[in-house]
Amino acid sequence: MTATLEQMIADWPNDWTLENVSNAVVDEFNRLGALHSGGLPVQAPVFVDETEEHFGRPGLVIGYIDGEPDLNPDDPNKYVEQFAHLLAQIHHFDPKTSGLALAERPVRQFARFMKDDMPQANPVFQVDRIWAALASNCIRQDKEQAVLLHGDFWPGNTLWRNGSLLAVIDWEQPRRWGSTAGPSDQLPRALVGTRRPGDARFYRALSRPASY
């Protein structure tokens, strides 16, 4: 019998999270399990330890995905279509799914994104195509419904290989969002990133980028 080696990742929250967020490790483990079982492209959870027995601190083991963030795609058309489709998939995922452990987010944080006007942008970034893809895939929610938000959706939290989008990572901040969550809620952040030097391509996408 031949043994097969499989790559995995050991992950654990930082000190602040462990001190201030109850059940952070178990919640993340269960959340990834719910998302993975529900069909979203995320790393599969493998093992969790709430104690310090295995890692010297609470932590978990997750599956390894052979990919990396791509901030300079060779085929921008294919790139934006996949990116928008993934965002729509996340919005379609039922936030009432058991195991997600979602927190509510203050309305004021996203108040300025609650319009349906497409942001003005340099045509090279094809924001109109992203907007159209999101609009055609996202369902308007009534006041009794909600959608799932990733919480930190930008190119640096996606994994790519050979032009194909493989996964979205870093699910520490997902939120349930009410009926005001439309296609625009995460698009500006998805395009502009977080203003690090490597994000410049996306930061310049909007003519009036948001301040975070």
**Do 197 and 167 share a structural domain?**
yes
* Cα(210)–Cα(212) distance, integer angstroms: 6
The total number of structural domains that make up the chain: 2
**Do 84 and 183 share a structural domain?**
yes
Q: For residue 34, what are the domain limits?
A: 8-63
**Do 193 and 104 share a structural domain?**
yes
**Do 95 and 47 share a structural domain?**
no
**Do 83 and 57 share a structural domain?**
no
Task: Select the more confidently predicted residue: 46 or 71.
Answer: 46
Residue 212 has pLDDT above 80, yes or no: no
Q: pLDDT band for 198, please (50, 70, 90 cuts).
A: very low
* Cα(6)–Cα(99) distance, integer angstroms: 26
Cβ within 8 Å of residue 168, ≥6 positions away:
40, 41, 42, 86, 90, 150, 153, 157, 158, 159
CATH value at residue 158: 1.10.510
Q: pLDDT band for 104, please (50, 70, 90 cuts).
A: low
Q: Is residue 113 part of a domain?
A: yes
Instruction: Give pTM, 2 decimals.
Output: 0.69
Q: pLDDT band for 192, please (50, 70, 90 cuts).
A: very low
pLDDT in tens, 70-91: 988 888 888 888 988 898 899 8
Residue 40 has pLDDT above 80, yes or no: yes
**Do 106 and 184 share a structural domain?**
yes
**Do 82 and 50 share a structural domain?**
no
Please name the residue that has the structure tokens 């201030």: 20
Q: Is residue 71 part of a domain?
A: no
Q: Is residue 134 part of a domain?
A: yes
Instruction: Provide the pLDDT for residue 113.
Output: 38
Instruction: Provide the pLDDT for residue 134.
Output: 61
Q: What is the mean pLDDT of residues 129-151?
A: 64
Instruction: Provide the pLDDT for residue 46.
Output: 96
Instruction: Specify which of 31-40, 94-103, 115-124 reaches the highest per-range mean pLDDT.
Output: 31-40
pLDDT in tens, 110-134: 333 344 676 677 777 777 777 666 6
Task: Select the more confidently predicted residue: 123 or 143.
Answer: 123
Q: Which of the listed residues 63, 84, 110 is the one where a domain comes to its end?
A: 63
**Do 17 and 118 share a structural domain?**
no
